[in-house]
Structure 1
Amino acid sequence: MSEMILHHYPSSPFSEKVRLILGYKHLSWRSVVIPMVSPKPDLVALTGGYRKTPVLQIGADIYCDTALICDVLEHLQPMPTLYPEPSKGMARTLAHWADNTLFWTSMAYNMQPKGLAQIFGNAPPEVAKAFIDDRKAMAVGLARLRPADAAAAYKSYLRRMSDMLDDLPFLLGEMPSICDFAMYHPLWFTRIRASVLADILNATPAVLDWMDRMAAIGHGSMEKFSAADAIAVAAASMPAPLHDTHDNVFQDEHGIALGSRVQVSSESFGPEPTEGELMAATRMHYTLRRTDERAGTVHVHLPRIGYTLKAVKTA
């Protein structure tokens, strides 16, 4: 197996989710720091359009979205598991809620003027403006809470999490599950990156203690790596054979045959499409083959849940 390369940036909440999982599974990885906002030419050379953070690269295989990245890491390093029985289904369901509802609630709270002033306090005003404009472009059609409404919801969610921790060190048991990592990263951003607003956490000391246990997991063994080197790794590699994947059933929900030219896009945030030849449509993910002049031939993998597939019309 080629070494894992994570394309991320330090203040990205979803990257913190994956960095902690890499630590939990005692994995070594290479770190490529990408820009917070577009343009991201080196990342797009690998993904073909997808520009959300983070992206996991293994040779010429490019994995997008943390829901899929977590499944890949679980397959490569099954223990300790992210999906313990008998709460596997509950853990996945709560993680999905956390990545969508809890995350956007926390971000609406964090991005009020007081939070923005801290997050971008040492940067020129144009940096904050570029970030806000970039995220607005990525969030077309996405409903956004006002900070006051977000604060009320955030407090309720924190109380519910505290209730889950009454008799347990982690949200669903004695060990962390995907639920813990998905619920942690939005709170991490409040506590670490928007700490001027972190008083909201003080009413739930059990949650703060749990956050300390999660933070203590660490990020595993990391080595700095350049974007140019990551692209060179892709160009020198071949995508892994699809028959070696753990989920190789063709599940046709669209009437689109394998080998068709297609686009896959996020349903909501970050709708930029990735276009390529449909190589797999399993029950969990899509695989697109595409060729880039720098990265060579790569397979880009995206989840099914939260993404749309459509055929590209040819002349």
Structure 2
Amino acid sequence: MSDLILHHYPASPFSEKIRLVLGYKQLAWRSVRVPPVLPKPDLLALTGGYRRTPVLQIGADIYCDTALICDVLEHRQPVPSLYPPQHKGLARILAQWADTTLFQAAMAHALQPAGLADLFGKLPPGAAEAFVQDRRAMGAGQPQLRPADAAAALKSYLRRLSESLESQACLVDATPGLADFAAYHPLWFCRTRTPSMAGVLDAFPSVRGWLDRMAAIGHGRPDALDSRDAIAIAAAAEPLPVDGQTFQDEHGIPLGSRVTVAAESFGREATEGELVAATRMHYTLRRQSASAGTVHVHFPRIGYVLQAA
């Protein structure tokens, strides 16, 4: 049985990004369904506050944010690689743009009334309102794209993607890489979850062909797992040792300090714990959970704020 446990839900675009990476690397994994909106008590028992989706669990190690999860899966299964040898930096830069700027435009376009009807039309009354209120709370204080502005921006971004895909099969190289998986998931959401809003793709056949090729990768080999069993797995395990990792201090906060880590934007719920590692790429917090025992919660540096508790 695989030790890779993905906490996710079917309509989550960032989860689709990781599901497809798992498929690309032909990894077996265990699937834990989480609610799309709060409360998420079983997930928060592991993360300590972080509520964005997805989360990767390996024993008592909890990995937050898809940028970090992709690095973890690359380390687990280096071939096929997510990082083109000649364009590693470019792939990361494009992926960060896709996960932020492209994603925001695609979501603002997709989640108009017709798109919400696609998502929630067959669900009980109130589901759409609960989702909208939850996402408003997650993005409190952030500027919101108006639908017309989102559509204009999305068409420009699709045109740029199309120009890249007219001469090659993938965005950076001949085979899928990190940039492809990051650019795919917001367009997947628009195309498959809000089909009433997917007409924006019609003018870009090279993008639609690329979407088809990406979708054909599939999700690897998942097995269902109950969230309570995932917590029990964490409680029975020990976090991986962090001794010997190079400490990169940018904040004047020594290892062993009580700290919080939270996203810079969208879903700013903080996780508090003991800072046990701060490398050039990520932070690790040790925390105690009543149900999960001692866990290490890992965050990437980029996109997250470290503060003394």
Q: Same fold (TM over 0.5)?
A: yes
- Map residues 144-163 of structure 1 onto 2, 5 A cutoff: 144-163=144-163
Contact 1:2 1:59 in 2 (8 A): no
1:188 corresponds in structure 2 to 188
Match of 1:233 in 2: 233
Is 2:130 aligned against 1:123?
no
Shift of 1:249: 1.5
Mark the runs of 5 or more structure 1 residues left unpaired by the alignment.
none
Matched residue, 2:277: 280
For the pair 1:5 / 2:13, whether they are aligned, the reply is no
Q: Which residue of 2 aligns with 1:106?
A: 106
Does structure 1 residue 310 correspond to structure 2 residue 307? yes
Whether 1:290 and 2:287 are equivalent positions in the alignment is yes
Give the aligned residue type for 1:263: T
Which residue in 2 is equivalent to 1:252?
249
Q: Does structure 2 conserve the Cα–Cα contact (< 8 Å) formed by 1:2 and 1:58?
A: no
1:122-141 matches, cutoff 5 A: 122-141=122-141
* 3-state SS, counterpart of residue 207 of structure 2: helix
Matched, 1:210 2:207: no
In structure 1, give the amino acid aligned to 2:152: A
Whether the aligned pair in 1 keeps the contact of 2:287 and 2:297 (CA below 8 Å) is yes
For residues 39 and 183 of structure 1, the distance between their equivalents in structure 2, rounded to whole angstroms, comes to: 29
Q: Are 2:258 and 2:274, in contact at CA under 8 Å, matched by a contact in 1?
A: yes
Counterpart amino acid of residue 87 in structure 2: S
Q: Give the partner amino acid of 1:220.
A: G
Does residue 268 of the first structure (1) align with residue 265 of the second (2)?
A: yes
| Separation in structure 2 between the aligned mates of residue 99 and residue 175 of structure 1, nearest angstrom | 20
Equivalent residue for 2:296? 299
| Aligned-residue CA RMSD (Å) | 1.1
- 1:21-71, CA deviations, whole angstroms, 9 ceiling, x for partnerless residues? 000011000000000000000000000000000000000000000000001
Superposed displacement of residue 2, structure 1: 6.5
In 1, the alpha carbon distance for the partners of 2:91 and 2:11 equals 25
- Tell me the distance in 2 between the aligned counterparts of 1:148 and 1:124: 29
Q: Could you say what secondary structure the match of 2:126 adopts?
A: helix
The structure 1 segments of at least 4 consecutive aligned residues displaced by more than 6 Å after TM superposition are none
Identity %: 65
Cα distance per residue 1:206-226 (max 9 Å; x no partner): 000000100010000000000
SS, match of residue 270 in structure 1: coil
TM-score (norm 2): 0.98
Secondary structure at 1:242 match in 2: coil
2:36 aligns with 36
Please list every run of 5 or more consecutive structure 2 residues that lacks an aligned counterpart in the other structure.
none
Q: Deviation string for 1:147-177 (max 9, x for gaps)?
A: 1110011111001000001110111121011
The reply on whether 1:168 has 2:168 as its aligned counterpart is: yes
Equivalent pair of 2:155/2:200 in contact (CA under 8 Å): yes
With the length of structure 1 as denominator, give the TM-score of the two structures.
0.97
CA positional deviation for 1:243: 4.0
Q: Distance in 1 between matches of 2:173 and 2:44?
A: 39
The CA distance in 2 between the partners of 1:191 and 1:297, in whole Å, is 41
SS of residue in 2 equivalent to 1:108: helix
| Preserved contact between residue 6 and residue 29 of structure 1 (Cα < 8 Å) | yes
- Quote how far apart the aligned CAs of 1:84 are: 1.2
- Can you list the C-alpha shifts for 1:133-157, whole angstroms capped at 9, x where unaligned? 1111110122110111100111110
Residue number in structure 2 paired with 1:93: 93
- What is the number of residues matched between the two proteins? 309
SS class of match (1:78): coil
